[in-house]
Chains A and B, each alone.
Chain A
């Protein structure tokens, strides 16, 4: 594997890790609200969150590119906050990935929260536990499987991301050149050997990460049972 391939792998892993963390933090209150509310706006929000599944990634990326433009709405907002333009930057890729992978994180969390039931939470409340206390001591431990699914799906989906990055990244080595684009470039350049090597590397690393996560989950479940 060439040094540029390894750099691309690291960028991809970093991108997937950051995006997953941000998605878990953002997704938790969102999914919680969706799981509890009877608000009439709930279906609207649910539909909005599922929308990234509909648009082809390159189309989504194209609109992000338009949105990131110096005269665009996102950029003028960021500019007033003193944040540099998002196009062709790692931060831009993170923003794109968060939007792209949103349904993959929110939906498993929402399902997990719905399945909790109200009894234990009400019981804890009568014993004087505050909302935050209830969340960390009851909701979080009981929704562990939901979080695991959300994290794995968010991570894997971002790792394999191609179209969005292709549109907004600009393929800058060490900044926005991710592994999926690098593999595509090898194929385009008819350098199939490098493409195969890198694709195999990506699959192996992803397999090991997923294996580790599922392995830890199994172990901790055994511990709980004992």
Chain B
């Protein structure tokens, strides 16, 4: 009995010493408000980050407009990853963050996706031939991916054609996640989505990677809202080599350094 007890004490001591022995930085929780298009990518990045650092990353996904309104009204976020540059800039204008805390972190790419491909017809051909009833895009007024999609339609000369057509209807999602949903549930035959949404999950022939010169670059900016050591480490990881690699694998381009 005594032997067992003393052994237990020994184990406890060892455990205690090993815990004390590793001088780890205190674990923090980093709360990130992230645009829905970037949430999947950020999940991959924060999983890697959590393996190397003692901190926890909590993702709050949603639309950037809503996150903006919540941040202005005191939401406890540490980092804001917006889908555009406008909302972080609006935080600067509202004097919620300093200008130096805002910077681009990714450039989004657009894809035209068709989940029900007709025989031998690629999504791009279906679009040009008008072989669809509904074309889903994110709301151009709210979402940069929607704005870019409209620019693509204008640049290939289809915008006015579709808007005046009675057979081809544009349907608008609140954001690119909803445009994705309309195609994923087969309600829209075609949809402009973020490349990151399809690049690793959908067969290649189902989507057309829209050439980047058909629309203005979709620059996504972040705003750093708090100044703890953990947040700095996280942002360094995100914009560092490992974060950048994951970002590219998920269908984003890196922002041009300047």
Identify the A interface with B (CB < 8 A).
62, 65-66, 68-72, 85, 87-88, 166-167, 170-172, 184-185, 187-190
Contact A65 B187, beta carbon cutoff 8 Å: yes
Binds A, one of B7-15, B40-48, B60-68, B224-232: B60-68
A189-B65 contact in complex given A68-B187, A87-B187, C-beta closer than 8 Å: yes
Q: Quick one: which of B66, B90, B181, B188 contacts A188, CB cutoff 8 A? A: B66
Q: Quick one: which of A62, A185, A190 contacts B68, CB cutoff 8 A? A: A190
Q: Quick one: which of B66, B90, B172, B185 contacts A66, CB cutoff 8 A? A: B185
In the complex, what distance in Å separates the CA atom of A204 from the CA atom of B90?
31
Within the complex, the shortest CB–CB distance from A76 to chain B, in Å, comes to 12
Contact B174 A190, beta carbon cutoff 8 Å: no
Contact A71 B186, beta carbon cutoff 8 Å: yes
Within the complex, the shortest CB–CB distance from A93 to chain B, in Å, comes to 13
Contact B186 A190, beta carbon cutoff 8 Å: no
Contact B185 A170, beta carbon cutoff 8 Å: no
Chain A residues with Cβ below 8 Å from B186 are 69-72
Chain A residues with Cβ below 8 Å from B185 are 65-66, 69
Contact B187 A88, beta carbon cutoff 8 Å: yes
A88-B174 contact in complex given A70-B186, A170-B182, A185-B139, C-beta closer than 8 Å: no
Chain B, interface residues (CB within 8 Å), range: 20 to 34
B128 CB-CB contact with A under 8 Å = no
Contact B139 A88, beta carbon cutoff 8 Å: no
B58 CB-CB contact with A under 8 Å = no
Contact A166 B174, beta carbon cutoff 8 Å: yes
B75 CB-CB contact with A under 8 Å = no
Q: Quick one: which of A70, A170, A184 contacts B172, CB cutoff 8 A? A: A170
Chain B residues with Cβ below 8 Å from A190 are 65, 68-69, 86-87, 90
Chain A residues with Cβ below 8 Å from B172 are 170-172
Within the complex, the shortest CB–CB distance from B36 to chain A, in Å, comes to 12
In the complex, what distance in Å separates the CA atom of A218 from the CA atom of B154?
58
Contact A170 B171, beta carbon cutoff 8 Å: yes
In the complex, what distance in Å separates the CA atom of A70 from the CA atom of B115?
12
Residues facing A in B30-87 (CB within 8 A) are 63, 65-66, 68-69, 86-87
B194 CB-CB contact with A under 8 Å = no
Within the complex, the shortest CB–CB distance from B138 to chain A, in Å, comes to 10
In the complex, what distance in Å separates the CA atom of A189 from the CA atom of B169?
23
Interface of A, secondary structure class, is loop
Within the complex, the shortest CB–CB distance from A60 to chain B, in Å, comes to 14
Contact A188 B174, beta carbon cutoff 8 Å: yes
Question: B200-227: contact bitstring with A at CB < 8 Å (1 yes, 0 no)?
Answer: 0000000000000000000000000000
Contact B142 A185, beta carbon cutoff 8 Å: yes
Contact A69 B187, beta carbon cutoff 8 Å: yes
Contact B65 A187, beta carbon cutoff 8 Å: yes
In the complex, what distance in Å separates the CA atom of A187 from the CA atom of B139?
13
Could you say which of A87, A167, A170 has the most chain B C-beta atoms within 10 Å of its C-beta? Answer: A170
B24 CB-CB contact with A under 8 Å = no
B247 CB-CB contact with A under 8 Å = no
B193 CB-CB contact with A under 8 Å = no
In the complex, what distance in Å separates the CA atom of A69 from the CA atom of B187?
5
Within the complex, the shortest CB–CB distance from A113 to chain B, in Å, comes to 39
Chain B residues with Cβ below 8 Å from A88 are 134, 169, 171, 187-188
Within the complex, the shortest CB–CB distance from B139 to chain A, in Å, comes to 6
Chain A residues with Cβ below 8 Å from B87 are 190
Contact B174 A171, beta carbon cutoff 8 Å: yes
B136 CB-CB contact with A under 8 Å = yes
Contact A188 B65, beta carbon cutoff 8 Å: yes
Chain A residues with Cβ below 8 Å from B136 are 170
Pairs of residues from A and B, 3 with the lowest C-beta to C-beta distance, nearest first: A170-B171, A188-B65, A171-B172
**Nearest chain B residue, comparing its CB with the CB of A71:** B186
Chain A residues with Cβ below 8 Å from B170 are 172
**Nearest chain B residue, comparing its CB with the CB of A191:** B141
Chain B residues with Cβ below 8 Å from A172 are 169-172
Contact B142 A188, beta carbon cutoff 8 Å: yes
In the complex, what distance in Å separates the CA atom of A88 from the CA atom of B69?
29
